[in-house]
Structure 1
């Protein structure tokens, strides 16, 4: 069905909402299935967006048509069956939604599907096929997504987060929706100046808390404020997938071709010029080095990132390598210190502990059942300190170590994630979390912080992972590569 955008402010616009959002590490043995996705439809989907609440500015003269949105904690590649089921329902709903003026596409941009390449471009092409060439498509993305030429060409409007950690995620979604409504009201499809930058770095080296990313992303607001520019965006790209689209990218959108082209080149050049300045957002070391430094420090609580198996970057969440190392350290298990470790996915162990109950002693084999590469299951005899049957979470204690074990992959980003289990991270000596850069609540809580370079599906040592399908030359895989010619293309 093809429909034409209506450009008069007196007519009600009809805009669909759809998306499949996940970040997928192709180096993780985890497989993301429908069970990993939280799917919303109808009123529940509309309720996700506070800026679309009844009476809000973006609902004046606009009917928002909820189709389907699916989101999951980052993980391994999505199975083809799962993707096909979700995409098919979105396409079916597009066919029965009636005439649409636009579609707001809310996704991450780093989904990988087994047997496919550049799946977001394929997904958006499917939307375009069903709504026709005149309907405007506006996408909101994570800055760790990837923008191929195909994806950039199919979308009419495209933007991404400007902060890492992503404190502006909902602002970005609102901007994508607001720009879409504005263009439908004013009429006219904007132009896009697109250019990829042959740099692929992990988020832990490109945090906007510090330079050079801080100063480079500050330029985005400057560019957006220029006459002739509607939006500007820089994508870092996703480092833990092995696809040609995985690299940094810049898109500047607007109506003045000369301005958006010049500014896209300016942003791309700034990113490349800083390519060898990017450093980790926190001091790093091996796990043993980080623990030794934490124990020697008076700072409490002292946070350590177990970065190689970060589930919010695509790690399996059950890599047991760090747990095994901690259990071998008497300073952790046989001292007065309190160490919290969050978390390891193991449904079997969680069920065993829940059945045994608080106060019981269990002997279990923990983790290493999905990602067994770094370390297989670890033997642990421990007291059941806490159980949350509804949440599928338990706490196992041995000496001063408290290990959180979960039924499902779960990030630990909030203080409440700990306190609801009776754990107080503020009063702990060490808090070790499967994470990369600390999310805002943890960052504010930490008296000090180190990033441990540990193994797993999102290992920070990119050169050890074995990328074979990315475009080359690419920094840091080719450290002595010549300076690229960064020439934006109008899409």
Structure 2
């Protein structure tokens, strides 16, 4: 074999190898997240200490579908940046927002270029001095990675979708259940859709339809456990099966922030303009048509009425939601008004009175004193109202320390003090109580307690399944359910239900340009 033939053979082999390597090259996809819903009606502020920050392998561990043997994990070269998540609370300080977003942007710059990004955001953050933090975040991400990479965004259905946010993302979806039992499934859908578009070579969907819907309702009225939310959200999946539609979503929006973006929204996207438009318009119209049917997911009463019914009830536990200061919706979590009213009731003032667990009230100074005194000791100290003292000052708790527990990932330290027949849980840092183990770890038995009072709105599945009966109490706080008295000044009007006689809005599809078509 002469040298020319050998040379041709070598070149041909190299070309085949290069083609094969190119064929087997995995897409490079970044992962980032910024997750909080925050009330502008609460005096609380969320800072860096409020956010749990995951980096590197920690991010993969958060998502079950990214397990080591997962097909999704093996379909791309994933580049984790930062996932920052906080318990709902007050507005995020601008410094905190810039620090978290800045780190994400810096890591994107360092590891660019990318074929795609998976962004996990809530959609209801409120940042001091900003009207649309998530829209700003997406715009700045685009400034770093460019308009070519696909961006798939997963959101909470209580988030807000502005035109800017819709423009800068290519594939967008949100939860379809409230409570959010499909959170993992929804995030997986966002990732799967992204990989499908990359592997098929189809890339960005050709059409995106966005419809703002002038409805602003609290999550406690829009749960998918009951009608009309149940049937409304059941319409979403069938529409995604239509030829030319990739996905569709309904956002209820976030009721406890006062900004022009706060309202419901619908989106659909895919490769068939007519089908995408029809899907979005059908969902928007369906939402508007049932707007007057939304009611609270459970009976609602004043605190006095709630306590009276619970005391008379023979069902254990009778759960009362202290809704106005719900930290899972953005309340400060330390409003003492409800607890002070409870302790005034004669039924709870003797040790053998009606048993009640109150979960919970933050009181770092109370906790510090309890640690010094120890379990079994008597204590008299104040807790609560360090952040939100608009309705009542710190509550004096005089009783016996029954339990001190260290190491909780949210509360850090928990103290159970018995005041009369009430077990009050005092925490170093605010913590929502969602699980039976949250109580049993403290030596409490909620199933054998007459009344369990939690700072929450609609019950998460575990509490819901444990309830003997349930009432949601209309109490004051940063996430007050009485929207009429909450004091909106900046949302777009007219808005249902604040303007019940408003004319039917324009619910036609607005076609949003693709990111690479923006000037």
Partner residue of 1:25 out of 39, 42, 59: 39
Partner residue of 2:436 out of 387, 391, 415: 415
The C-alpha deviation readout for 1:463-487, integer Å capped at 9, x for no partner, is: 1111111000001111111111211
Cα displacement (A) at 1:9: 6.4
Distance (Å, rounded) in 2 between the aligned partners of 1:368 and 1:38:
24
Q: Indicate yes or no: 2:347 matched with 1:326.
A: no
Shift >6 Å, 4+ stretches: none
Distance (Å, rounded) in 1 between the aligned partners of 2:404 and 2:23:
56
The C-alpha deviation readout for 1:293-343, integer Å capped at 9, x for no partner, is: 111111111100000000000000000001100010011232432100101
SS in 1 for 2:379: strand
SS in 2 for 1:276: helix
Moved more, 210-219 or 335-344: 335-344
Partner of 1:224: 240
Which structure 2 residues correspond to residues 325-364 of structure 1 after superposition, within 5 A?
325-334=341-350, 335-364=352-381
Cα displacement (A) at 1:389: 2.9
Which structure 2 residues correspond to residues 183-198 of structure 1 after superposition, within 5 A?
183-186=197-200, 187-190=202-205, 191-198=207-214
CA RMSD of aligned residues (A): 1.0
The C-alpha deviation readout for 1:80-106, integer Å capped at 9, x for no partner, is: 110111111100000111321111001
Q: Indicate yes or no: 2:128 matched with 1:114.
A: yes
Q: Indicate yes or no: 2:265 matched with 1:270.
A: no
SS in 2 for 1:313: coil
The question of whether the paired residues in 2 share the 8 Å contact of 1:305 and 1:432 is answered with yes
Equivalenced residues, count? 484
Cα displacement (A) at 1:348: 1.2
TM-score between the two structures when normalised by the length of structure 2: 0.92
Cα displacement (A) at 1:60: 2.8
Distance (Å, rounded) in 1 between the aligned partners of 2:167 and 2:490:
22
Gaps in structure 1 of 5+ consecutive residues: 1-7
Distance (Å, rounded) in 2 between the aligned partners of 1:345 and 1:171:
33
Q: Indicate yes or no: 2:158 matched with 1:141.
A: no
Distance (Å, rounded) in 2 between the aligned partners of 1:387 and 1:169:
33
Moved more, 388-397 or 162-171: 388-397
The C-alpha deviation readout for 1:153-200, integer Å capped at 9, x for no partner, is: 110011000000000011111111111111111223112111010000
Partner of 1:74: 88
Cα displacement (A) at 1:61: 3.2
Q: Indicate yes or no: 2:434 matched with 1:434.
A: no
SS in 1 for 2:124: coil
Cα displacement (A) at 1:43: 1.0
Distance (Å, rounded) in 1 between the aligned partners of 2:301 and 2:278:
41
Distance (Å, rounded) in 2 between the aligned partners of 1:284 and 1:480:
24
Cα displacement (A) at 1:150: 0.7
The question of whether the paired residues in 1 share the 8 Å contact of 2:159 and 2:251 is answered with yes
Moved more, 282-291 or 329-338: 329-338
The question of whether the paired residues in 2 share the 8 Å contact of 1:67 and 1:90 is answered with yes
Gaps in structure 2 of 5+ consecutive residues: 1-21, 513-519
Partner of 1:3: none
The question of whether the paired residues in 2 share the 8 Å contact of 1:339 and 1:401 is answered with yes
The C-alpha deviation readout for 1:194-241, integer Å capped at 9, x for no partner, is: 101000000000000000000000001111121111111000000000
Partner of 2:224: 208
The question of whether the paired residues in 1 share the 8 Å contact of 2:75 and 2:195 is answered with no
The C-alpha deviation readout for 1:357-392, integer Å capped at 9, x for no partner, is: 111111111211210011111122111111013331
SS in 1 for 2:24: coil
Distance (Å, rounded) in 2 between the aligned partners of 1:221 and 1:332:
49
Q: Which has the larger radius of gyration?
A: 2
Partner of 1:374: 391
Moved more, 305-314 or 328-337: 328-337
Distance (Å, rounded) in 1 between the aligned partners of 2:260 and 2:188:
30
The C-alpha deviation readout for 1:85-143, integer Å capped at 9, x for no partner, is: 11111000001113211110011110010011100000011111100110011111000
Moved more, 95-104 or 435-444: 95-104
SS in 1 for 2:292: coil
Distance (Å, rounded) in 1 between the aligned partners of 2:378 and 2:459:
33
Moved more, 43-52 or 150-159: 43-52
Cα displacement (A) at 1:59: 2.2
Distance (Å, rounded) in 2 between the aligned partners of 1:168 and 1:352:
42
Q: Indicate yes or no: 2:421 matched with 1:406.
A: no
The question of whether the paired residues in 1 share the 8 Å contact of 2:311 and 2:354 is answered with no
Which structure 2 residues correspond to residues 7-86 of structure 1 after superposition, within 5 A?
10-86=24-100
